[in-house]
Amino acid sequence: MNQFHAVITAIGGYVPNYRLTNEELSAMVDTSDEWITKRIGIKERRILKPEEGKGVSCLALKAIEDMQSKHRFNPLDIEAVIFATSTPDYPFPNTASLVAAQTGMTKAMCFDLEAACSGFLYALDVANAFIISGKYKKVMVIAGDQLSVVTDYTDRNTCPIFADGCGCTLVERSDDDNGIIDTIMCADGSTPEHLHQYGGGSVNPASHESVDKHLHYIWQEGKVVFKHAVSNMVDACDQLLKRNHLNKEEINWVVPHQANLRIIDSVTNYLDIPREKVMINIEHYGNTSAASIPLCLWDWEKQLKKGDRILLTAFGAGFTWGAVYLKWGYDTNA
Ligand code: UT7
């Protein structure tokens, strides 16, 4: 039995202003609003344009500003900043440090965490471990991606899916029963060929050749990723439900990673959770990778009640996947 729980006490979010619609994409590649809506469930996605700013840190600063507008906290009290992202501003310095410096979180240890679309869950698990160990009391978990910079807008297999956005959560020590109850995090790196961005790292540093070969863009074998996503998210959720002796009726909300509406429906159908308990905003935001789960919590914040039982689940490149069972920590209107 843990002495403390780690609980989310505040949430912030931001999506850029520009809406890239299916109609606009249809003029760029051979696709249609009908195909994208039916096969993926996306109508529009938000894209950060240079006029609004540059880099994922720009999205994070706005998300933190949004959090501060609802829940004032002293930035000097934050002891760790974890930034889950696959699209940091630079390979180094890490984006967590840049954001911390600009928001006054100057007493915190800062690092980025890369677990693709599972990044928010991985970061939450690390924050949870930091807090229940007794070492830290306040951790800022940021999860954001600017996938538009690694999306190939000549490839119809990937360009309708990906988008930009950022969410952040303040995770604090709590002595009551609410907070993170259990987590499962998994990875299998044996088949990176199914989903990757091979350029820009130490194997394929940027070169004329890497650019010509489109190695700096996301590439995926959609059908294979789809199957792994469904089976692994179902498995992780099932394990959490069983080992916490939970009936599906006791779950108030399921928050799945927003990769494809058909993936979300398959997972929740297997788990036998009705649609009205499932947070879905993929239609408006697309797949924002690490940001998708916190952006759902952000959109639904006003409907959440203290003590609500929530199941989060994600799957992404790596492959990485996992699930978190938590009890919500606050009433927004309290
Ligand atoms: O965030 C975690 C990582 N990503 C995911 O979880 C994504 C997982 N995968 C998926 O969401 C889906 O597999 C996709 C949306 C990527 C693709 O959907 P699909 O139903 O698996 O389509 P498919 O790749 O099997 O393609 C079916 C057909 C093909 O045509 P043919 O060969 O049957 O003639 C494709 O060329 O649809 C075609 N197609 C398109 N047609 C119109 C593929 N993309 C498009 C498009 N517009 N954008």
Domain boundaries, the chain: 5-176, 181-327
What is the C-alpha to C-alpha distance for residues 112 and 188, in angstroms, rounded to an integer?
A: 20
**Pair of tokens at residue 23:** 């109609």
Atom 47 of ligand 1, nearest CA residue: 31
β-strand pairing of 18-21 with 44-47: antiparallel
Same fold, 5-176 and 181-327: yes
Query: 3-class SS at 86?
Result: coil
pLDDT at 328 over 80: yes
131: Cβ below 6 Å to ligand 1?
Answer: no
| 294 sits in which H/E element | helix 292-300
pLDDT at 1 over 80: no
> In whole numbers, what is the pLDDT of the chain averaged over residues?
97
What is the C-alpha to C-alpha distance for residues 167 and 83, in angstroms, rounded to an integer?
A: 10
Q: What is the pLDDT of residues 211-232, one digit of tens each?
A: 999 999 999 999 999 999 999 9
- Per DSSP, the residues of 12-80 read EEE--SEEEEHHHHHTTSS--HHHHHHHT--SEEEE--TTT--SHHHHHHHHHHHHHHHS---GGG--E
157: Cβ below 6 Å to ligand 1?
Answer: yes
Closest by CA position to 121, among listed 82, 89, 153, 88: 82
- Report whether 285 contacts 45 (CB < 8 A): yes
- Report whether 322 contacts 125 (CB < 8 A): yes
pLDDT at 301 over 80: yes
What is the C-alpha to C-alpha distance for residues 281 and 296, in angstroms, rounded to an integer?
A: 7
In DSSP terms, which residues pair with 220 in a beta bridge? 195
Atom 42 of ligand 1, nearest CA residue: 31
| 196 sits in which H/E element | strand 195-196
Per-residue model confidence (pLDDT) at position 2: 60
What's the alpha-carbon Rg for the chain, to the nearest Å?
Answer: 19
Locus of tokens 């507008």: 69
Other CB atoms within 10 Å distance of the CB of residue 320? 22
What integer is the mean pLDDT of 299-306?
97
CATH topology of domain 181-327: Peroxisomal Thiolase; Chain A, domain 1 (3.40.47)
Share of the chain above pLDDT 90, in %: 97
C-alpha 244: how far from chain center: 24
Q: What is the pLDDT of residues 65-124, one digit of tens each?
A: 999 999 999 999 999 999 999 999 999 999 999 999 999 999 999 999 999 999 999 999
229: Cβ below 6 Å to ligand 1?
Answer: yes
pLDDT at 159 over 80: yes
Per-residue model confidence (pLDDT) at position 4: 87
- Report whether 251 contacts 311 (CB < 8 A): yes
pLDDT at 48 over 70: yes
Q: What is the pLDDT of residues 250-294, one digit of tens each?
A: 999 999 999 999 999 999 999 999 999 999 999 999 999 999 999
Longest Cα pair distance anywhere in the chain, in angstroms? 57
Q: What is the pLDDT of residues 181-218, one digit of tens each?
A: 999 999 999 999 999 999 999 999 999 999 999 999 99
80-84 β-sheet, strand order: 5-14, 164-174, 138-146, 80-84, 109-113
What is the C-alpha to C-alpha distance for residues 329 and 309, in angstroms, rounded to an integer?
A: 10
Per-residue model confidence (pLDDT) at position 101: 98
- Report whether 117 contacts 316 (CB < 8 A): yes
DSSP state of 216: T
Per-residue model confidence (pLDDT) at position 3: 78
Computed from CA positions of residues 185, 190, 195, 198, in that sequence, does the dihedral angle turn out positive or negative? positive
CATH superfamily label, 5-176: Thiolase/Chalcone synthase (3.40.47.10)
Q: How far is the CA of 223 from the centre of ligand 1 (A)?
A: 7
Per-residue model confidence (pLDDT) at position 334: 54
Closest by CA position to 330, among listed 136, 141, 71, 61: 71
- CA torsion, points 92, 98, 101, 103, in degrees to nearest 10? -160
Atom 1 of ligand 1, nearest CA residue: 259
318: Cβ below 6 Å to ligand 1?
Answer: no
Per-residue model confidence (pLDDT) at position 58: 98
Give the position, in ligand 1's atom list, of the atom nearest the Cα of 316.
2
Angle, in degrees to the nearest 10, between helices 261-271 and 222-243? 30
What is the C-alpha to C-alpha distance for residues 61 and 52, in angstroms, rounded to an integer?
A: 13
What integer is the mean pLDDT of 231-240?
98
